[in-house]
Structure 1
Amino acid sequence: MKDNSYSKVPVFENGLAQPVFPFTDGKTGENYDPATSDIVRYCVYVESDFDMDGDGKRDLIKTLVQVPRSAVEGNYKAASLFEARPYCAGVQEDGYDHMKEVAEKEYRKFDFNDLKKEVAPRVPTGEISAMDLALKSDPSDWYYKDKGSTDSMVYENLDNFNYYLVRGFAVITSAGLGALGSDGFNYVGSDYERDAFKAVVEWLHGDRVAYADRTGTIITKADWSNGNVAMTGRSYAGTMPFAVATTGVEGLKTIVPVAGISDWYSQQNMQGAQRYWPKEMLNSFLAYYCSSRYHDETLSEKQKDDIAAFHHELSLQQLKCGFDYDEEFWGSGNYRLHADRIKCSALIVQGLNDENVSTKQFDMMVKAFQKSGQTFKTILHQGPHITPTMPNKNYGILIDGKFYDDIVNEWISHYLYGVENGAESRPEVLVQTNYDQKKWETSDSWDTDYSMKLESAGTGTSVIDTDWKAAGISAENFDDVMGVKSTNMGQRYVTDPFEEAVTIQGTVRLNLRASLKDGDADADFHPENPNDADTLTMKLGSSKVSGRMDDVEIAVLLCDVCDEEFDSIQTVDPERNIIPVETVKEGGIINGGDLPAFNEAEFSTVHKKYRVITRAFADLCNPEAGYEPETAANSIELKKGEYHDYHVYLCATRYTIQPGHSLALVIATEDPVNCLIHKTYSIEIDNTSVNAIVPVTAETKDRTMTLK
C-alpha cells in the first residue's frame, strides 16, 4: 500500500465501517497500474446453469470485481456489496426506433422450450488466484465507450460505491445475461435473469465456478471473500436483490433495494390496465435496451439474429396477454409469490413521489417480508425515482439528519461483519413528511389499525368520456386540470376541509359501480396512437390479437386540495419523473478517505392549489381485479348499461392532510401521460356507490367524511 498509516483490516467505530483504506480510481485508463492500484479490479465469468443461446456451452456471466488490495493480499476476508444492474454493460439507446424497425419484420420461430435444454458444465484445466488475475487485468475490460449510446461509458456506475471500497467492502457489479461480455439473452422478469445473479452470489459464497476469461478453461475463486453478500441498487438494480432473495440463496445476508420491483406485471399494468409509459409497454423493449451483447464483435450474424428472434417471440407472447395477468407469461416475475423462500433481512428504500416504479412495489415487498418472518425496515423519502445519494449527479439528501450511505453502512456492517450496532432495532418505518422535508417521523409498523371512510353524498349518475379536446386535456396539464375541477373526462368528489391534521398510511381502496355508457366495441373503440408508439406495441390492446375486450380504462387520483396555494413537493415534468433539487451545502455529503464530498441538497417545492397524493389505473373489463396482480387474469366483455362493482387499489402512500385542506377523489378515463391507445368511449358512474377506505395512523374524530 502507498501509505502505512492506512489500516490493513476493516475498522469499526460507532457501529460503522471507517474509511481506512486508500483508493485508486478505476477510470484512469493507461494510467491504471494493476500492480500498484489500492483497489484491485478484475473481471470473472461466472458459469450459469443455462445455455440460452444454444451453443452447447453453459452461459457465462461477466462480473466486475473491485476489492481493497489488502483483502486480496490475505490480510482479511472482505464482505461483498453486489449490484446486479442490466444497464451497466451498455444500453441500446435507439430503443424506440428499433421497435418501429422490427414491428413488421419476420423472424425465425424461436421455441422457448429450447431454453430449458440441459448442458453439462465445463471441465476446467487450471486455476488462477485473484491477485494473479488482477495483475493481468486491463481497465478496457470494464471502462470503455458504450457502442449503443452516444456519450456513455460502459460500467458508468463504476464510482457509485467508492464509499464502501474505502471502508473495506468489496463491490461487485454485473449486467447479467445478454449483456456485452456475457452469453445468453436478456429476458426481463424471468427465472433465467434472476438465477444468473443468484449464481454470482453463489460464487462469492464459494458454491459456484467462475472463469478467468470467456474461453472457460481456467477457474478463479473469490479467495478474498468472507462469503457474506448484500445486494443493492435502484430501479432494475433494486429489483434484482428482491428477486434473488426469493430464491433463498446461501450467502445473501441482506438486501437494500431502492425503488425495486416486486412484480413485473403490476409495474407495467395495474388491475388489467396499462400504467407505464406507452412506448415501453412491451418487456421486449427493455430486453433490447439492455442487450449490449449486440456489440460483441465475436458474434456471427446468425447469433445476433437469434437474439432478435428471441426478443420478437417475447413480444408475441406478451401481445397474447393484452393488459391482463397471465401466469405463464408474468408468473416468473411475480417474485412476491415466493416470500416463503426469503432467508435474509431487508432495508427497503422508496421515494413517495416515484411515478416510474410505483409505490405499490415497495408495499408488496413489505408484505412479502412480513410473510417471510425476516427482519425488514423501510426508509420513505419525498423524492422521485432516485437514491438518497446520487453520485452521478454529485448530490445527496439527508435521511433524518444522517448521511444515507452511513445508514446503509451501519446496516451491512451488522449483517455482513456481525457488528453489534443495533441496526436491526431501527423503527420499521422512517418517513420524510410531505409538509416539512426536514422532519422525519417513525412508526413501529407499516400497517395501521385505523381507517377513515370517504362516502359520496351524490345521487344519480355521472358520465365521463375520453374526449381530450373537450376537456382541455393534454399530457402536460392532466394533473393540473383533474386536480381542480370536474370535466367531461373526470368527475371529482371532494370532502369539506379537515379540522385537524390526518395522516394517511398505506393503500387507499376506492369502491364504485360503473358501466360502459357508449362506445363501438366491435371496432375496438376506434383506437388511435397519440404517443407515436410502434405498431407492434399498439397491438397490445387489440381484441384481434388477444381475442377479448381490453383496456376500457379508468384513472383514479386522490388529491390534496385547498382554496389557497400551498407548498408541496411534486414532479414538474410531463412524464412525472423529475423533482428539481437545490444545493443547501456544497460538499455537505461526506464520503471520507480520499474521496470527494457531494453536495447536500433539498427538494424544490411548487406552489399550487392541489397536489396528487396517489393514483391508480384499472380496466373496467377486469371487475375481479384487486390488489394482488394475479387477480387481474379474468376479463369480461362489457355490455352497455350493465353495471359492475369495482375495487380500485391506489398506490401506497404516507401523507398528512393539513387543517383547512380537503381530499378530492377523482375518477377519470384516460391519462394522456400513460395512454398507449386512445379510445372513444364513455363510462357511467353510480354516484351513490362511490366510497373509499383510507388507512390512517390514528383514530380520527370523524370516521366518515362526506364526498360532495
Structure 2
Amino acid sequence: MKKIVQSICLFVFAFTIQAQEQAVPVFKNGEAQIVTAFKNPENWIRHDLWVETTFDSDGDGKLDRMHVDVTRPAQTENGLKLPIVYESSPYYSGVASGGRELFWNVKHELGEKVPEPTRSNVKRTGKRPIISNSQIKTWVPRGYIVVHSSSPGTGLSDGAPTVGGDNESLAPKAVIDWLNGRAKGFSEREGNKEVTAFWSTGKVGMTGTSYNGTIPLAAATTGVNGLEAIIPVAPNTSYYHYYRSNGLVRSPGGYLGEDIDVLYDFIHSGKEENRARNNKVVRDTEIANGMDRLSGDYNDFWAGRDYLNDMKPMKAALLMSHGFNDWNVMPEHSYRIYKKASEMGLPTQIYYHQNGHGGPPPVKMMNRWFTRYLHGIENNVENDAKAWIVRENDKRSEPTPYKEYPNPDAKEITFYLKGGAPRIGHLSTEKLEIKETETLIDNYSFSAASLAQADYTNHRLLYTTPILKEDLHISGTSVITIKAASSKEAVNLSVYLVSLPWSKGRRAKITDNIITKGWADLQNYKSLTKSKPLKKGKFYEMTFKLQPDDQIIKKGQQIGLMIFSSDSEYTLLPKPGTELTVDLTGTKITIPIVGGQDAFKKAIN
C-alpha cells in the first residue's frame, strides 16, 4: 500500500512539473487570458537584484546600481520566456512626513524672496526582497513577468534623485538593457556575482501612475531597444508645467507651496551616507540655481526637465491615460505628449475620464495594447479608435470611442465680453464695439468656488452665455486673450470656465461646476523666458491656453468666464488690494465646440 501511495505521489508530482513545462500564454479575441498554471501565487518565483547603470549620480566613484525585483511564473525556470510589464518609482521605499513647514510660504508679494522651507529626511521603509506588489495580480496570470525598480537615490538604489534629470531616464533604460542582455545585473548591491534575465523575451511594456507614469515616458525618450509600449497614467511630462503656469509660480492642486526642491526632499530615501553630498550638489546647487521661484520664467533648467523636448528618439507605442479634472498633474501633461507622438507617426491612443488624479485605462484596453506589442499578437489594436473618453455619467470601464481627441467636429468659437461688474456680465459671439473696462480687487480670502457663486462681488469679473436650451459639447483647448492693467508691478492672473448655476452639496459631481482653468503672469506677456515688471496702470495683452477638456454642458446651464487674481488653492497669496483692470474690448476667449457656431446658436435659441 505504501508503495502504491508513493507511486501516486510521484505520478502527481511528475504530472504537475509536466503541466508547468507545457503551460504557455493563451490568447482570445486579441487579449491574453488568465492561465490556470500561472495563477497560483505560491508557484511564483520572486527575487531581487541590482542592475548596473552607466552613470554615477551620487559621486562615490562607482557606477550606480538600481534595486530591481522580479515576479515570474515557475514555468520560466524550465525554459519558458515571457515579456515583461515594468513599473519604476521613487515612492516604493518611503517618503518624507511632516506638516506645512515642509512647503514654501506662499503669503507674500510676487517676486519677493522668502526663507526656504524646513528640510526633512526620509526614513526608508519596506523589506527585501519585495519592492512592490503592483501589477502582479493582473499580469502574471496572463503570461507576463512583472518587474519593479526603485529610482535613483531612493530605497536600496544607488544615486541621487534629480526630479527629472537625465539619470531618471537612464536608470529604467539600464533595467531594460539588462532584460535584453545588454547590461549587468548582480545578486548583491556591492557584490560581483552576476544575474541574467534568462527568462526574458526582451519585450518590455511600462506603466504606472503620476511619478510612476512619468518614468515610462522618461525611459521611452532614450529610444532604448526592447521598450515596445508604454501606458503612462496621469504622468508629469514637464516639471515647469507642474510647478509653473505661463510664467506664474503655481502649486499643483492640493499641495499649496510645493516646489521641485520639496519633491526632491520628499523622495530622497537612499543611502544616509550619501545624502549630504546629494543635497549639496543636486538640491542646493542645481535645483536652487535653476528653479527661479522669484520670476517663474522658463529657462534651461526647466527645459531639461520637459520630456517633450526629448521625444525624437522615442519609438514605443503610446497609450496615454488621464482625468480631465486632475488638478494635481493637469490634463495638458498627457495631451502635449500624445499630440507629439501622433505627429511622429507612433502608434497612439488616449483614454480620458472625468475624474481626478490617477485612473488607468480599463484592463481590456491595456491587455490589447500589451498583447499586441509585447506578445506580438496581431489584434488590430493600432486601428482601434484613437480616443476613448468616459462620458460624465458612465463607468470608467465603459469609455466612448471617438476618431480623435480633440473631437474632429469641434470648431473654435470666439466669445467677447460685455460688462456687468460687480454683478454678472455677458459672454457673446458678437464683438463689443464700445470701449469698456472693468476692475476687480485681488483678495485671496475668497475661494474660486465662492467667487463663482457670488451674485455681487468686486473680487472677480464674471461673464455668462445665455441659458442653454440644449446640451453643448466642448472638446479641446480653450484659449484666452486678455488685455489688462495692474496697480502693482506684478499680479496673479487666474481664469476659470465654469458651468452655472453652481451645484452644491452631496449630489454635486466633479463635472458639475468646473469646465477648465488657467493661470498666467502678466509680466510674461511677451515671452515665458523673460518677465518684465509691469508699469502701473498700463495695459498689456497676453494670450494663453486653459487646460484641455472634453465635457458636455447640460441644458439649463450657462457657461461662465471668470477672471480673478490670486487663487487660494494654487497661486502665491499677496496682500489683498491689488487692482486688476480688464479692457473688455481687447479681451476674448475661443472655446472649441462640437458642431461649431450652428451647435451653439441652436443651444441658446
Q: TM-score range by the shorter chain?
A: 0.7 to 0.9
Counterpart position of 1:515: 485
Partner residue of 1:405 out of 355, 359, 363: 363
Map Cα deviations across residues 196-255 of structure 1 (whole Å, 9 max, x no partner): 112111111222122221114122121111011111000001111112212211111111
Counterpart position of 1:180: 155
Residues 566 and 573, structure 2, Cα contact 8 Å, conserved in 1: no
Kindly tell me: are residues 341 and 432 of structure 1, through their superposed partners in 2, closer, same or farther at Cα, counting changes over 3 Å?
Answer: same
Q: In the aligned structure 2, how far is the partner of 1:219 from the partner of 1:153? A: 18
Counterpart position of 1:421: 379
Counterpart position of 2:441: 465
The Cα of 1:39 is off from its aligned counterpart by 1.4
Q: TM-score, normalised by structure 1?
A: 0.73
Q: Indicate yes or no: 2:310 matched with 1:338.
A: yes
- Secondary structure of the residue aligned to 1:333 is coil
Counterpart position of 1:559: 498
Residues 495 and 705, structure 1, Cα contact 8 Å, conserved in 2: no
- Secondary structure of the residue aligned to 1:43 is strand
Residues 427 and 444, structure 1, Cα contact 8 Å, conserved in 2: yes
Q: In the aligned structure 2, how far is the partner of 1:98 from the partner of 1:148? A: 18
Partner residue of 1:204 out of 156, 176, 179: 179
Map Cα deviations across residues 391-447 of structure 1 (whole Å, 9 max, x no partner): xxxxxxxx7xxxx22221121011001112222122111111125558743221214
- Secondary structure of the residue aligned to 2:228 is strand
Map Cα deviations across residues 109-133 of structure 1 (whole Å, 9 max, x no partner): xxxxxxxxxxxxxxxxxxxxxxxxx
Q: Indicate yes or no: 2:402 matched with 1:443.
A: yes
Kindly tell me: are residues 212 and 155 of structure 1, through their superposed partners in 2, closer, same or farther at Cα, counting changes over 3 Å?
Answer: closer
Partner residue of 1:12 out of 16, 27, 30: 27
Q: Indicate yes or no: 2:53 matched with 1:48.
A: yes
Partner residue of 1:488 out of 458, 467, 471: 458
Q: In the aligned structure 1, how far is the partner of 2:117 from the partner of 2:330? A: 33
Q: In the aligned structure 2, how far is the partner of 1:636 from the partner of 1:165? A: 56
Structure 1, 333-342 or 184-193: larger mean CA deviation? 333-342
> What amino acid sits opposite 2:542 in the alignment?
Y
Counterpart position of 1:214: 189
RMSD: 3.1
Kindly tell me: are residues 97 and 480 of structure 1, through their superposed partners in 2, closer, same or farther at Cα, counting changes over 3 Å?
Answer: closer
Map Cα deviations across residues 604-631 of structure 1 (whole Å, 9 max, x no partner): 8516996111101101111035xxxxxx
Residues 514 and 684, structure 1, Cα contact 8 Å, conserved in 2: yes
Map Cα deviations across residues 30-84 of structure 1 (whole Å, 9 max, x no partner): xxxxxxx42111112111111122211111111111111212331x211011112
Q: In the aligned structure 1, how far is the partner of 2:482 from the partner of 2:104? A: 39
Counterpart position of 2:241: 266
Partner residue of 1:691 out of 569, 583, 588: 588
Residues 468 and 489, structure 1, Cα contact 8 Å, conserved in 2: no
Q: Indicate yes or no: 2:252 matched with 1:252.
A: no
Counterpart position of 1:615: 517
Task: Within 5 Å, give how 1:222-371 maps onto structure 2.
Answer: 222-277=197-252, 279-293=256-270, 296=271, 299-300=272-273, 303-310=274-281, 311-320=283-292, 322-371=294-343
The Cα of 1:493 is off from its aligned counterpart by 0.8
Q: In the aligned structure 2, how far is the partner of 1:100 from the partner of 1:257? A: 29
Q: In the aligned structure 2, how far is the partner of 1:609 from the partner of 1:421? A: 34
Aligned residues: 556
Q: Indicate yes or no: 2:359 matched with 1:380.
A: no
Q: In the aligned structure 1, how far is the partner of 2:455 from the partner of 2:544? A: 21
Counterpart position of 1:498: 468
Q: In the aligned structure 2, how far is the partner of 1:195 from the partner of 1:514? A: 45
Residues 179 and 292, structure 1, Cα contact 8 Å, conserved in 2: yes
Q: In the aligned structure 2, how far is the partner of 1:688 from the partner of 1:662? A: 22
Q: In the aligned structure 1, how far is the partner of 2:509 from the partner of 2:230? A: 37
Map Cα deviations across residues 352-383 of structure 1 (whole Å, 9 max, x no partner): 11111101111111122122210100111112
> What amino acid sits opposite 1:686 in the alignment?
D
Unaligned runs of 5+ in 1: 26-36, 108-145, 389-398, 522-549, 573-603, 626-631
Q: TM-score, normalised by structure 2?
A: 0.85
Percent identity over the alignment is 26
Kindly tell me: are residues 152 and 357 of structure 1, through their superposed partners in 2, closer, same or farther at Cα, counting changes over 3 Å?
Answer: farther
Kindly tell me: are residues 482 and 64 of structure 1, through their superposed partners in 2, closer, same or farther at Cα, counting changes over 3 Å?
Answer: same
The Cα of 1:482 is off from its aligned counterpart by 2.0
Q: In the aligned structure 2, how far is the partner of 1:414 from the partner of 1:608? A: 35
Structure 1, 437-446 or 65-74: larger mean CA deviation? 437-446
Partner residue of 2:392 out of 430, 434, 441: 434
Kindly tell me: are residues 197 and 365 of structure 1, through their superposed partners in 2, closer, same or farther at Cα, counting changes over 3 Å?
Answer: same
Map Cα deviations across residues 487-539 of structure 1 (whole Å, 9 max, x no partner): 222110111122332211111001110011x23x5xxxxxxxxxxxxxxxxxx
Residues 416 and 588, structure 2, Cα contact 8 Å, conserved in 1: yes
The Cα of 1:702 is off from its aligned counterpart by 6.2
The Cα of 1:169 is off from its aligned counterpart by 0.6
Map Cα deviations across residues 660-679 of structure 1 (whole Å, 9 max, x no partner): 32110001101111134434
- Secondary structure of the residue aligned to 2:366 is helix
Residues 455 and 704, structure 1, Cα contact 8 Å, conserved in 2: no
- Secondary structure of the residue aligned to 1:341 is coil
> What amino acid sits opposite 2:52 in the alignment?
E
Residues 567 and 573, structure 2, Cα contact 8 Å, conserved in 1: no
Q: In the aligned structure 2, how far is the partner of 1:358 from the partner of 1:650? A: 10
- Secondary structure of the residue aligned to 1:217 is coil
